[in-house]
A and B are shown apart, each in its own frame.
Chain A
Amino acid sequence: MKERKESPRPGSDTRYTYAVGRIKALEARLISPAEMERLLEEETLAGAFRALGEFSDYAETIAAEKKGPEEILEEQLARAYDAVSEFSLGSNAIQTLRLKYDFHNLKVLLKARLLGAEPDGFSKIGFLSLEEFNRLLAEGTVGGEVDRFAAEAILTALSEVDDGDSLERIEVVLDKSYYRLFLNNLSVNPFLEEYARRTIDLINLRTFWRVQLMDWPEERLAESLLHGGTIQKAFFTANVATPIADFSPKLTDDAYRRILREAKNAYQTKGDLSVLDKLTDDFLVEFLRRAKYYCFGLEPLVGYIAAKENEVMQLRVILHGKEKALLADSLREVLRRSYA
């Protein structure tokens, strides 16, 4: 699909007026924090399913046939992407968000091919089906019903992977390729560009800490860092030996400093890094919440997709937590901030 030229000013693109109207209606159907709390209070997985079935969006999927939590959530997310794609006027920014799953599928197939194993973990949310993917990988061309935007992005990424690349290298190359595309396609206006850059920053911050904590070689950090964030890659590599406590004051952004400080405190008391992931996710949700107040433009569409991803993640926490009979309080600690 041909990309239309986007307006540079946030919240001013009138081409998406109809789409924003539809999005507002969809946003109203997102599960609210109070409803999440109700799901959390359910004793069992069956109870949580029953309560979830009362929400219109999920009722149909749950009632249709007996499915596991993962299948239901995957189907819901695919529906949300379909709905937004329908009225996003073929925006590359929206398509790029969905492309994350095609890149995941590409990793699955390349790894399986490298090891001569059956592909395991193929997601149905992406643009291309398994058959289309296999055809694309075998013939190396785009043809038939294959989505051209996705196929071209995948072929570009594929050209960056060498035959002798290791599993780890494949992951790194494809992640870099995806986030380059992510930044390019979201840079249609300053708001979305900032969102993309901050997403990359937060991924890099997490990578930095993980490499340091695991005592991995410096090369792994240099290789894994993504381009395009507001913090330069060189800043991370120059501070590879700096303890996180001394590293965070060096950051110029207050929000990042706060995230690292809180995550460090949590790591020192509880010994796990899940707080870092939660804080970074919360930060991005909070950032995108501003998009709710834009009456025109692409921002509410991106915001809705992020909100749906967030909702699905919250439901995954609750449903898996109920399946494993985890306490509601321990699930609350993991739950992300709600967009709704």
Chain B
Amino acid sequence: MRLNVNPNRMELLKLRKRLALAKRGHKLLQDKQEQLMRYFLRFVSRARELRKQVQDKVDEGLRRFELCRLVTPEKFLINALSHPAGELKLKVEVTRLLSVRIPRLELESQPNPFTYGLTHTPSDLDLSLKALSETVPLMMELVNVEKTIVILSEEIEKTRRRVNALKFVFIPNMVETVKYIKMKLDELERSNVNRLMRLKELVFEA
């Protein structure tokens, strides 16, 4: 669709400048989109890998815990597990990736679950808690990666819409308008020439 502008040389120059800028912007946005896509795919495969690791660790921890649960009175297990020492501390940071702000959770410290006595607790409890404790940093990493994926997917969507708008709407409209102004100016030029030629003929006839 042609833009609603006056078909004059000044507008033509202005539009040509804008068109060049739009083409450069389109190229840059397309590059950004490609780069975002590359990061997105890399993070997706990392998330898949992490999710598997977390799942395996949780499965292992819970399987062992079930074994402990089978042979230990519930109250002994409650006593052993209800008071871990220390607390889980997290730090939130914001990083930038291709000028996209991404929050990141860092694990500063995690509780020590091994505060129970070794006399009345089943041996597998240690291995169970070890496996479950090891999932915490992995889960933090997974949270970070999955959040990055969500933010990147939103950014990709936004960038794609911009690229498409430039490619299919903004640039064609401007090209059409430039063409229209150019045609208009050419037509003016031709009518000028005709007018001059006609004047010249009239002058010679007189």
Contact = CB atoms under 8 A, between A and B. Distances in A.
Interface of A: 70, 73-74, 100, 104, 107-108, 111, 115, 117, 120-123, 166-168, 171-172, 174-175, 179, 203, 206-207, 209-211, 213-214, 216, 224, 226, 272-274, 276-277, 313, 316-317, 320-321, 324, 326, 331, 334
26 contacts: A107-B79, A111-B79, A111-B82, A111-B83, A115-B83, A117-B83, A120-B79, A121-B74, A121-B75, A166-B85, A168-B116, A174-B117, A175-B119, A206-B118, A210-B123, A214-B114, A214-B130, A216-B114, A272-B124, A274-B123, A276-B123, A316-B73, A320-B69, A321-B70, A334-B70, A334-B71
B146 interface: no
B25 interface: no
Contact of A274 (B71, B82, B85, B117): B71
Nearest to A206: B123
A129 to B, nearest CB: 15
Contact of A272 (B74, B83, B116, B127): B127
B76 A121 contact: yes
A216 B71 CA distance: 24
Interface core residue of A121, A122, A213, A326 (most chain B CB under 10 Å): A121
Contacts of A100: 120
Contacts of B127: 213-214, 272-273
Interface string B107-118: 000000011111
A224 B118 contact: yes
A226 B120 CA distance: 12
Contact of A104 (B71, B118, B120): B120
A207 B118 contact: yes
Given A273-B124, A274-B122, A274-B123, A317 B79 contact: no
Nearest to B78: A121
Q: How large is the interface on B (under 10, 10 to 19, 20 to 34, 35 or more residues)?
A: 20 to 34
A313 B85 CA distance: 29
B26 interface: no
B64 interface: yes
Contacts of A203: 118-119
Nearest to A168: B115
Given A115-B83, A171-B117, A214-B126, 20 more contacts: A70-B75, A107-B117, A121-B74, A121-B79, A166-B115, A167-B83, A168-B85, A168-B116, A168-B117, A175-B119, A179-B119, A203-B119, A210-B123, A210-B126, A214-B127, A274-B71, A277-B122, A277-B123, A316-B73, A334-B70
A127 B85 CA distance: 30
A179 to B, nearest CB: 7
B116 to A, nearest CB: 6
A111 B117 CA distance: 12
Contacts of A122: 75
Contacts of A216: 114
A211 B127 CA distance: 11
Nearest to B81: A121
Contacts of B64: 272
A156 B111 CA distance: 31
Given A104-B76, A111-B79, A316 B117 contact: no
Contacts of B20: none
Given A210-B123, A273-B124, A171 B71 contact: no
Contacts of B130: 214
A42 B129 CA distance: 31
B67 interface: yes
Given A224-B117, A274-B122, A277-B123, A167 B85 contact: yes
B47 to A, nearest CB: 27
B118 A74 contact: no
The 9 closest A-B pairs by CB, nearest first: A171-B117, A121-B78, A273-B123, A121-B75, A175-B119, A167-B115, A121-B79, A317-B70, A207-B118
Contacts of A171: 115-117, 119
A175 B79 contact: no
A209 B123 contact: yes
Contacts of B119: 171, 175, 179, 203, 207, 224, 226
Contacts of B71: 274, 277, 313, 316-317, 334
B75 A104 contact: yes
Nearest to A115: B83
A111 B76 CA distance: 13
